[in-house]
A and B are shown apart, each in its own frame.
Chain A
Amino acid sequence: MTSPGRPSLNIAVLYPDLLNLYGDRGNARAVEERCAARGIDTTVLGVGIGDDWSSRQADIVLVGGGQDREQRRVQADLQRRGEDLREYVDNDGVVLAVCGGFQLFGHHYRGWDGEIMEGIGIFDAVAAHPGPKIARCVGNVVALWEGETVVGFENHGGRTYLNDGQQALADVVSGFGNNGGDGLEGAKVKNAYGTYLHGAVLPKNPRLADRLISLALDRRFGAEAAELPPLDDSVALRAHAEALHAALSARESALGRRFA
């Protein structure tokens, strides 16, 4: 809903019916709620396969994760939007791409059967599935982002590798992150954020949610509009603490097993 005189943001959710597997719709809810609490109007638009849409109408683009078969299904349509989305990111457009969406926003994803799914190359990264016999990366994650913890849940078969010069979003404290090897989580190019974290990630990481909102406001209305008054985040921070506890106690018991 929009009303005259109030700032307003357009949120686009790519493929909400297909990349909807892991609760990532919570990210759009978090942006809506946190904007509403500050008198900022939002419009959330779902963008499906074949829809006539351009990123010029968007302030924040969200894309979630799905099964391999759903990722395969959106691939061609996403290719068609590749140039438009790359231009959007070049112009400081805000993106949050989660899991499968993160993989497709890299150069490509090689599935467990060797099939290549082309991405749109926003992140200088490639993802590959190590094969059907190799375990998925599943569990609670804690990572450090700008000196603060971010928490979420990961569940991915593919491993992402960042090319030289591609900045990660965060450093893994507990969990697998991009590939379980290099200690990196996600990627960041200008205002485009990629991550493996579900949870959904934004509701219980309110600072990250506010960062995306604030970047979008800055781009549309200038730096002054981008300053966000604090909210009562007691419930969100408590949820953050629970997720932190779940991740770290699972790690403790894994260590306990190893040394038993």
Chain B
Amino acid sequence: MRALGSGGTALPGLVVERLHPDALSQLANDLSATALITGTNGKTTSAAMLARILRADGRAVVHNRAGSNLLRGVTAAMVDAASLLGRLPADANAVLESDEAALPAIAAAAPPSVAVFTNLMRDQLDRYGEIESIARRWADALSAFPPETVIALNVDDPLIASLAHHWDGSCLSFGIEDPDIPSAPQGEIMDAVWDPKTDDDFRYSRRYFAQLGRWHTDSGAQRPTPDIAADNITFAAGLTSFTLQLPRSSVDIALPADGLYSVYNALAASTAAIALGVAAETIRDGLESHEAAFGRQEEMVVEGRRVRLLLGKNPSGMNQALRTLQRPGERHHLLVLLNDGIADGTDVSWIWDVDWESQAQHCESLTVGGHRAADMALRLKYAGFPEPCNPIENDIGDVLRAALDAVPESGRLTILPTYTAMLDVRQRLGQMGAARLWDVAR
């Protein structure tokens, strides 16, 4: 069994940044290609999928893992990968996940060959500000990209699709074409409701979640037909199958991940891979070897019980995590962890905008924890959840103990943590001897 690794990787980056402020751009000179991935949700998993695809293509890959997505974390990843000579492996490709706000700085230091935009949703308003300011920042960042950059846009998100207006170079679009994907429940939160350019409302013939779907406006703007698309999507536990339609071919994918948002992640990775010249079969091989990224649909075993981590850090992300849980007849043992650290967002108001109500009837047992456990308990009480099966605990060790005790032997605990709570609980699980599910199976 392998112990669980830790998540913090930004420290060497800080050291190098201080000693050598332009270290990243010097190292970036050695790269043969750089893929930047940004957006509110899905960037960590999309980047992990792209790294797999590029490795399946036999390339050397430099990759900032585990959400170290500020300039510092990206520098750290490059320094780690550089040899003692201070150079990166010959012909390496970099796969760099970039924080939404850090995109201009990272793109300036490591000019992208392809830049992927996944979606733009409300996230940690105390830290990022409102959506409009991120959209403006991205439009500015685009004007500094090298002209040969390919931008890859999720056109199901009208805010991402509109980035094409700010870019004269090549653009590849991706989206979902399957007509049988059900619409989001009425009342689910949606952030962008109208076109900032024309002031027209976005209207939807189908809306999958948040503002993603088949949109159009009264002045005739509409979702473009994507260059790269997913169709024939079917969901089974832990496995999502779909046909990946590429410009000149199509390939069937069996993706070991749950939920529609996993399909979007796979589309983001595939589109970047196409821009970098990877063949369809190699994209399939890469995607089918996908393993959950840190805390995102990660499965492990502790004390004979399965434990699953589903990170949720904003309303749309948490709504999607909850939707992957909803299978007919299934009930879940839940541990919900709410922290209010800087990396979580110090404002916990967003929990009121999550559709917890949809999950209340599927809950077998409930435990809450984190620095704002009582806030969470209050929200879930209002959503009609059963009473938490133990007293409200802020301490992560105590709360994990209580949650595990509520799960019968060989049962499964599903943990829904915010970002720093995910780091805390994962570390604690590691101390308890948890092992990743696929390591146990091997």
Please determine whether B132 and A69 come into contact, CB atoms closer than 8 angstroms. yes
User: In the complex, are the beta carbons of B347 and A17 less than 8 A apart?
Assistant: no
Question: In whole angstroms, how far apart are the Cα atoms of A139 and B349 in the complex?
Answer: 11
A68, A242, A250: residue with the most chain B Cβ atoms closer than 10 Å = A242
Instruction: Judge whether B349 and A199 touch: CB under 8 Å.
Output: yes
Per-position binary interface string of chain A over residues 3-41, scored 1 when its CB falls under 8 Å from any chain B CB and 0 otherwise: 000000000000001101111111001100100000000
- Given A155-B126, A239-B375, A246-B340, do A198 and B382 touch, yes or no (CB 8 Å)? no
The reply to whether B379 and A242 form a contact with Cβ atoms under 8 Å apart is no
Check if B353 sits within 8 Å of A20, measured CB to CB.
yes
Q: For residue A17, which residues in chain B have a CB less than 8 angstroms away from its CB?
A: 190, 193
Contact of A153 among B129, B130, B189, B348 (CB under 8 A): B348
Indicate if B225 sits at the interface (CB-CB under 8 A): no
- Decide: A235 and B381 in contact? CB cutoff 8 A: yes
Q: Chain A residues with Cβ under 8 A from B351's Cβ?
A: 23
Docked pose: A70 CA to B291 CA in angstroms: 40
What 0/1 readout, one digit per residue, does chain A (186-209) give for beta carbons within 8 Å of chain B? 000000000000111001100000
**Complex alpha-carbon distance, A104 and B58, angstroms:** 59
B304 contacts the other chain (CB 8 A): no
Judge if A126 is at the interface, Cβ distance under 8 Å. Answer: no
Give the chain B neighbours of A199 by CB distance below 8 A. 348-349
Interface residues of B in 353-375 (CB under 8 A from A): 353, 371-375
CB pair A67 B132 closer than 8 Å? yes
Cβ of B349: which chain A residues have Cβ within 8 Å of it?
22-24, 26, 153, 198-200
Does B389 reach chain A (CB closer than 8 Å)? no
User: How far apart sit A17 and B202, CA to CA, in the bound complex (Å)?
Assistant: 13
Q: B126, A138: Cβ atoms under 8 Å?
A: yes
A169 at the interface (CB under 8 A from B): no
B196 in the interface, Cβ–Cβ < 8 Å?
A: yes
Q: Does A241 contact B (CB under 8 A)?
A: yes
A67 to B135 alpha-carbon distance, docked (Å): 13
Q: Closest CB of chain B to A118's CB: distance in Å?
A: 18
For A203, A204, A235, which residue has the most chain B Cβ atoms within 10 angstroms? A235
Chain A residues with Cβ under 8 A from B353's Cβ?
A: 20, 23, 25
Which residues does chain B contribute within 8 Å of A139, judged by CB atoms? 126, 346
Total chain A interface residues with beta-carbon distance under 8 A: 36
8 A Cβ contacts from A202-260 to B: 203-204, 235-236, 238-239, 241-243, 246, 250
Residue of B with least CB distance to A206: B378
A109 to chain B, nearest CB (A): 15
Q: Kindly state the separation between the CA atoms of A241 and B378 in the bound complex, as whole angstroms.
A: 13
In the complex, the answer to whether B392 meets A238 with C-beta atoms within 8 Å is: yes
A140 at the interface (CB under 8 A from B): yes
Using Cβ atoms and an 8 Å threshold, which residues of chain B touch A242? Answer: 371-375, 394
Question: Whole-angstrom distance from the CB of A71 to the nearest CB of chain B?
Answer: 11
B194 cross-chain contacts in A, Cβ below 8 A: 73
CB-contact partner of A241 in B126, B131, B374, under 8 A: B374
- The CA-CA distance from A105 to B193 in the complex, in Å, is 23
> Known: A23-B351, A29-B352, A140-B346. Contact between A236 and B378, CB under 8 A?
yes
Residue of A nearest to B392 (CB): A238
Q: In this complex, which of A23, A25, A155 has the most chain B Cβ atoms within 10 angstroms of its Cβ? A: A23
Q: Which residues of B contact A73 (CB under 8 A)?
A: 194
Q: Which residues of B contact A (CB under 8 A)?
A: 122, 125-126, 129-132, 189-190, 193-194, 196, 340, 346-353, 371-375, 377-379, 381-382, 392, 394
Interfacial residues, chain A to chain B (CB-CB below 8 A): 17-18, 20-26, 29-30, 33, 67-69, 73, 136, 138-140, 153, 155, 198-200, 203-204, 235-236, 238-239, 241-243, 246, 250
